[in-house]
Amino acid sequence: MSLPKHPNNLQDPTIDYPDIDLSKALRDHSDAEVEGEFSRIAYLQNEEMAILETSEPAYYEVRVTPMDHDEFWLSGQLDAKVMQECARCLRPVAVELSLELGTLLRFNPKVETPFLEQDDAGQEIWIFNNSNLELSPYFAETLLIGLPMSILHDPNCKGLCMTCGQDLNERTCEHNQAVKIVPLEEQEEAARKNPFAALKGLDLPDE
């Protein structure tokens, strides 16, 4: 995942652009802090603009502390309810996340676009090139990584019918109810040929 271009030229009033001013941190090696809220943020995924939406405003607190050389430590807190789809029935689900932030930043004015790098030890470093650091891609990445692997609107979600797409939580459909009932004569016939075939009858539902 990479950072989008500075969004000023494509400013969309429905999208929030959280950022932090690091000019003093870069100049005087002093801490920078910002807090705020967002509901919709934009980020780039596979070079396409993607939107991450929260069901109510997400709250963030970010502190950037200068370290040695051109490196900074970003810490803070991010609380958000992210809209996702139930993995089985696709209805929207608000997933509540409360995440502690902690990431290394490195200032490099020579890079064209900010990006996320992994050092030899596997630690992630955000390389940034501007004293105004866009936080959207960082927040989006942090939230997406923080999501549980399997999201269900209800642990007992019945999902969708594979044939007609009916939401089986609402009602059953003919496909779901269709239980293969073998006529009695055929069962007896099969039982004569193969005594074990009769046991297949035990697979039928109890009703």
Q: Which helix (H) or strand (E) holds 99?
A: strand 92-107
What's the sign of the alpha-carbon dihedral 123, 141, 50, 37?
A: negative
Residue 143 touching Zn ion (CB under 5 A): no
Number of residues forming the site for Zn ion (CB under 5 A): 11
Instruction: Using the rule CB under 5 A, give the single segment among 5-13, 60-68, 77-85, 173-181 that binds Zn ion.
Output: 173-181
Measured CA angle at 166 (ends 163, 172), to 5 deg = 100
How many angstroms separate the CA atoms of 44 and 3, rounded? 6
Note every long-range contact of 177-186, with CB atoms under 8 Å and residues 24 or more positions apart, other chains counting: 179/204, 179/205
One of 52, 62, 86, 143 touching Zn ion (CB under 5 A): 86
How many angstroms separate the CA atoms of 1 and 35, rounded? 24
Instruction: Using the rule CB under 5 A, give the single segment among 57-65, 71-79, 115-123, 149-157 that binds Zn ion.
Output: 149-157
Residue 58 touching Zn ion (CB under 5 A): no
Residue 161 touching Zn ion (CB under 5 A): yes
Please report, for residues 4, 46, 154, 177, the alpha-carbon distance to residue 63 in angstroms, rounded to integers and kept in the order given: 22, 29, 37, 57
Question: Mask: binding to Zn ion, 6-35, rule CB under 5 A, as x and -?
Answer: ------------------------------
How many angstroms separate the CA atoms of 107 and 112, rounded? 12
Residue 160 touching Zn ion (CB under 5 A): no
Q: Which lies closer to Zn ion via its Cβ, residue 121 or residue 181?
A: 181
Applying the rule CB under 5 A, the residues between 101 and 130 that interact with Zn ion are: none
One of 67, 75, 92, 175 touching Zn ion (CB under 5 A): 175
Residue 190 touching Zn ion (CB under 5 A): no
- How near is the Cβ of 148 to Zn ion at its closest, in Å? 14
Q: Given the rule CB under 5 A, which residues bind Zn ion?
A: 86, 88-89, 153, 157, 161, 163-164, 166, 173, 175
